[in-house]
Structure 1
Amino acid sequence: MMGRPVFVLFGSSIVQYSFSNGGWGATLADVYARKADIVLRGYIAWNSRRALQVITKIFPKDSAVQPSLVVVYFGGNDSIAPHPSGLGPHVPLEEYMDNMRKIGEHLKSLSDKTRVIFLSCPPLNEELLKKSTSTALSEIVRTNETCRLYSEACISVSKEMGIKVVDLWNAMQKREDWATACFTDGLHLSEEGSNIVVEEILRILKEAEWDPCLHWKAMPTEFGEDSPYDLVASSGKSTINPSEWTFHRKRSWE
């Protein structure tokens, strides 16, 4: 039997926190239960420079198993305004674009079957973020306008490279109440914000003309065959196979 496909989530805090509190990584792990392994490679506060420094260690080309899908998010920390000291996560826009090209090129080179999705920089609630930022940190200047610029840059690189992309900056703002509903602290995603990420990723996976298809409904369920050890039906004469049940979910995913 071939191993289960591996989906890797790679990026900064929006990725690292994606398994917490109804996060989008946890939701994907539930949707793809018995279909693919969702592997978390999230690094809070990282920018695209740090990602490039270690990408060959996280995704070695000689690995015996290469991911079927890598979902990548960097940009929010890159977009922070430069600190006078020269320290901090800021990466100039043109360098950010070049870094994302290099990340994309490496991931695409892992195997003929490795697919890549970039997540662009989401918007933020500036007022809420100011109230929630720790006083242990030097002033952090983040604006929704710079998020837009880095989002557009990510989308531009994606189109240039033929990489699928989720336009989070616009997807989030389709909700009238996005500024309060989509975040826990003005920056990191709430369950509602995470659900938008899941919706967009699943839409791409459903529409992409990839072989094999990586949408969850098109993938086989591991050990999904009928068994006499399944739950016994009310007739008492047969069993009911529960391997495809999804009624436990708070919402149905397409």
Structure 2
Amino acid sequence: MVGPGRPQIVLFGSSIVQYSFINGGWGATLADVYSRTADIILRGYGGWNSRFAVQVLDQVFPKDAVVQPSLVIVYFGGNDSKAPHPSGHGPHVPLSEFIENMRKIGEHLLSLSDKTRVIFLSPPPMNEKQIQLVFGGAIKGRSNEVCRPYAEALLNLCSEINVKGVDLWNAIQQQDDWMNTCFTDGIHFTAKASEIVVKEVLKVVREAEWKPSLHWKSLPIEFPFEFGVPNSLSLSEIELMRNNQLGPPPSATIL
């Protein structure tokens, strides 16, 4: 491990997480935003559902680890909500089991330490026609009609177990022409969709009454040495300017 130790922010989930560092992805943007204040750790597993996640919780997040994450952002649900395959195989997980799995995940993560915080991302909508155009018959059984109850049930669970929730289901659909601008293949995110994810995540982090705060503006900058050159900007000023695009516009409170 390299030092000094920073807060750890872990991204845990399926392909929405695994691919979050490509195509202007939301994971890469968070890593940039927190580049001098926290470490973004990727634990994404394409094709996984909540059932797989529960099986590896103790390995990915051991309770006896010397350092526990400060924040875990979790995404599962898209694969769980896929229609059952006639063979009985495939990623489908019934809604009731999905919620119980997510409850187990949330409770396990919260038990890691009294300073570990958790955010669940709801399943987003999808572009069903684009999925068909890109994948043909290779991917079947994905639909907004089936996915929506998973998103709604997950957000309800968040309030039950003291986990913060990000409503990607509605946030994505508020984007103009979202079906044509938010997906690379009908499922995975473009840079535009990832921008929405980042803004929604940072809004939750900023508004959360966590002590200490985990918002990027509240965390100390590592090695805040000044250049000592007359009329030069301080490192703090440079960091604020670099991330200025993520700050709320005048009179707005989105972040």
Give the TM-score, by structure 1 length.
Answer: 0.92
Query: What does the per-residue CA deviation read over 1:209-248, in whole Å, with 9 as the maximum and x for residues that have no partner?
Result: 00000010111100013144xxx4xxxx565433542555
Q: Structure 1 unaligned segments of length 5 or more: list them.
A: none
Q: Does 1:173 align with 2:173?
A: yes
Give 2:45's match in structure 1, choosing from 43, 48, 51. Answer: 43
Q: In angstroms, what is the RMSD of aligned CA positions?
A: 1.7
Instruction: Show the counterpart of 2:56.
Output: 54
Match runs of 1:202-221 below 5 Å? 202-221=202-221
Could you tell me which amino acid in structure 2 is paired with residue 203 of structure 1? Answer: K
Instruction: Show the counterpart of 2:245.
Output: 251
Alignment length, in residue pairs? 245
Q: Does 1:196 align with 2:196?
A: yes
Give 1:119's match in structure 2, choosing from 115, 118, 121. Answer: 121
Instruction: Show the counterpart of 1:242.
Output: 235
**How many Å apart are 1:93 and its aligned residue?**
0.3
Partner of 1:41: helix, strand, or coil?
strand
Could you tell me which amino acid in structure 2 is paired with residue 67 of structure 1? Answer: P
Cα distance in 1 between the residues matched to 2:87 and 2:203: 43
Cα distance in 2 between the residues matched to 1:158 and 1:149: 14
Cα distance in 2 between the residues matched to 1:250 and 1:88: 44
Cα distance in 2 between the residues matched to 1:103 and 1:171: 24
Instruction: Show the counterpart of 2:251.
Output: none
Partner of 1:131: helix, strand, or coil?
helix
Give the TM-score, by structure 2 length.
Answer: 0.91
Cα distance in 2 between the residues matched to 1:191 and 1:158: 27
Query: What does the per-residue CA deviation read over 1:120-147, in whole Å, with 9 as the maximum and x for residues that have no partner?
Result: 0000000001111166x3x521001112
Could you tell me which amino acid in structure 2 is paired with residue 118 of structure 1? Answer: F
| Cα distance change of structure 1 residues 239 and 175 upon mapping to structure 2, 3 Å threshold | closer
Could you tell me which amino acid in structure 1 is paired with residue 119 of structure 2? Answer: I
Cα distance in 2 between the residues matched to 1:106 and 1:174: 33
Partner of 1:15: helix, strand, or coil?
helix
Query: What does the per-residue CA deviation read over 1:196-221, in whole Å, with 9 as the maximum and x for residues that have no partner?
Result: 10001100111000000001011110
Q: Structure 2 unaligned segments of length 5 or more: list them.
A: 248-254
Could you tell me which amino acid in structure 2 is paired with residue 178 of structure 1? Answer: W
Which structure has the larger Rg over C-alpha atoms?
1
Match runs of 1:22-101 below 5 Å? 22-101=24-103
Contact 2:199 2:246 in 1 (8 A): no
Could you tell me which amino acid in structure 1 is paired with residue 20 of structure 2? Answer: S
Q: Which 4+ residue blocks in structure 1 deviate beyond 3 angstroms?
A: 237-240, 246-254
Cα distance in 2 between the residues matched to 1:249 and 1:133: 37
Cα distance in 1 between the residues matched to 2:188 and 2:244: 22
Could you tell me which amino acid in structure 1 is paired with residue 45 of structure 2? Answer: Y
Cα distance in 2 between the residues matched to 1:126 and 1:11: 22
**How many Å apart are 1:12 and its aligned residue?**
0.3
Partner of 1:72: helix, strand, or coil?
strand
Cα distance in 1 between the residues matched to 2:61 and 2:160: 22
Cα distance in 2 between the residues matched to 1:146 and 1:225: 53
Could you tell me which amino acid in structure 2 is paired with residue 221 of structure 1? Answer: I
Cα distance in 2 between the residues matched to 1:248 and 1:239: 15
**How many Å apart are 1:156 and its aligned residue?**
1.3
Q: Percent identity?
A: 59
Could you tell me which amino acid in structure 1 is paired with residue 46 of structure 2? Answer: I
